[in-house]
Amino acid sequence: MQYPITITPNEILSILERLHPDSLLLVRDETGLDQETQKALWRKVAFSYDPPRRLATVEYLLLIMHQACEQERAAYLTKVFFPWIGIKRRLHDQVMRIIDDIARTNEIEAYSAEDAAHIATKVYRPLVSDVFDPYMTLLIATYAFTEGTFVDIETSNLGAQERSKAEVVESRIRQSGGPANLLEGYDPIVRNALSHAGSDGVLYEPGSILFRNIKRGPTPIVESRRWSHDDLHSHVIALIELVMSIDAAIEIFGIDSVDLASEREVTDRFVYHVLNREQRLALGASLGGKLKQLQTIETIPQAERLDLLGKILFLQCAERDIPCTSVAFNTEHKTCFVTVPVEAKPVSDEEIRDTVMPLIRYLVLARAVFGELFDRFVVDAEVAGSSVMKVALPAGPLDEYAAEQAGLVDLLGDAKIWLDGVPLTLVIDFAALASAEDRTLGSRNPRRGRPISN
């Protein structure tokens, strides 16, 4: 594995043709992108340190992802693909730090001991631990989904160390085919030596580096690997090439799967995992702008506008598979009332909490539909037509929730609640909640006063 590789012009042309986005689609006939956007995507997919490796890797990744989709496409998208995109977005800061460290070296060839130490510790090691490991999660989760053993994305991501993940990937390739050099940039001996260097783990010598993975004990067991500076260079390039190939494959796969965007669950999971906060807010503002035109149009009497908006609320509830009985208004006090059915009256503290939180979602939805026509929103929960619980919130906290500046738990603390007409007060231990959330893996939900990183 040495770079640069030797390749003929005819081979380059053939690879470029096969890496054209339209050539990589397996479901759609064409990307549907405009010419300039398609050219930009083609450049991204085809720009490679190693074009033959890029082609083999991208085609293999697309193959296994589409094989997983043969089990159930919507489930693969919502449980594996989109959540993994969320993991990838959480890697952004680590990736930028690695890029900065690469930039600090004028040339990536490590021809001095100082450059070798910098690239080994600041580039190769974090590439493996911070990027390679979670990128392998996509393959591990895809294999598991195809085989029917998938649990969830966090189990695939954190259920094994990267060495175990790499062994699984290599085993699947041996069994079912695939590029034998897919993980050529990864060396667990080097990775462990760099992670636990101590006094004897890494020795930088003229022209080469000696890596030792030392299993400590009365009689230490040593695994060694000696790399030339060119070897270090090549392994870094191979890892970067793998990451870029996975990035290219997921873009093509995403375009190939766009026809499922009309399904509500797929759309919701896409918005939650794939879009960042700014993109989600922009999408919400775009949709809200269309509703605002109906909310404020003066050529339609208010009663007709409210009737139309009420039908939109019913439609939105139906799309989310949440029942809604009726909607009413007190225009004098600018209050919107939504009546919904519940199965039973809550009794215990846990039942009350678990009933109130879904009810708040109706208020969030009503605020989105009716906008500034109302300042207060009330949901009335009924059992067999009889009111058992009411929950009310002013517009302010609902707007904070929509802007991802507050979470559902914050709104739970803000809400006014009545059970059989008797006011209730829910006391939330936010310190205990924060401690529990610190131990919870995956994306973090918004909380008042806590910035959102995704």
The CA distance from 360 to 378, in Å, is: 9
pLDDT number for residue 415? 95
The CA distance from 3 to 23, in Å, is: 27
DSSP 377: E
Tokens 């340190």 label which residue? Answer: 49
Q: Where does 82-233 show beta strands of DSSP type E?
A: 202-205, 208-215, 221-228
Assign 424 to helix, strand or coil.
Answer: strand
What are the phi and psi torsion angles at 436 (to 5°)? -65, -40
Contact present, 333 and 373 (Cβ < 8 Å): no
DSSP 107: S
Assign 388 to helix, strand or coil.
Answer: strand
pLDDT number for residue 2? 63
Contact present, 359 and 393 (Cβ < 8 Å): no
281 vs 271, 304, 371, 394, CA distance in Å?
Answer: 10, 29, 15, 21
* Residues listed for the chain: 454
Q: How many CA atoms lie within 13 A of 248 on its CB side?
A: 29
pLDDT number for residue 154? 92
Radius of gyration of the chain (CA): 27
Which H helix or E strand runs over 413? helix 408-414
Is 216 exposed, middle or buried (CB count within 10 Å of its CB: 0-12, 13-18, 19+)? exposed
pTM for the predicted model, two decimal places: 0.84
Label each residue of 219-255 as H, E or C: CCEEEEEEEEHHHHHHHHHHHHHHHHHHHHHHHHHHH
What are the phi and psi torsion angles at 269 (to 5°)? -65, -35
What are the phi and psi torsion angles at 11 (to 5°)? -65, -40
Contact present, 427 and 440 (Cβ < 8 Å): no
pLDDT number for residue 272? 82
pLDDT digits (tens, 9 = 90+) for 139-170: 999 999 999 999 999 999 999 989 999 999 99
pLDDT number for residue 225? 95
pLDDT number for residue 365? 96
- Structural domain boundaries of the chain? 9-185+229-262, 278-438
The CA distance from 181 to 53, in Å, is: 8
Assign 199 to helix, strand or coil.
Answer: coil
Omega before 4 within 30 of 0, i.e. cis = yes
> Given strand 202-205, what is the order of strands in its sheet?
202-205, 208-215, 221-228
pLDDT number for residue 106? 55
pLDDT digits (tens, 9 = 90+) for 83-126: 999 999 989 888 899 888 887 765 555 567 788 888 999 999 99
Residues of the chain with pLDDT under 50: none
pLDDT number for residue 454? 59
Contact present, 329 and 306 (Cβ < 8 Å): yes
Q: What angle do CA 332, 335, 336 make, to 5 degrees?
A: 130
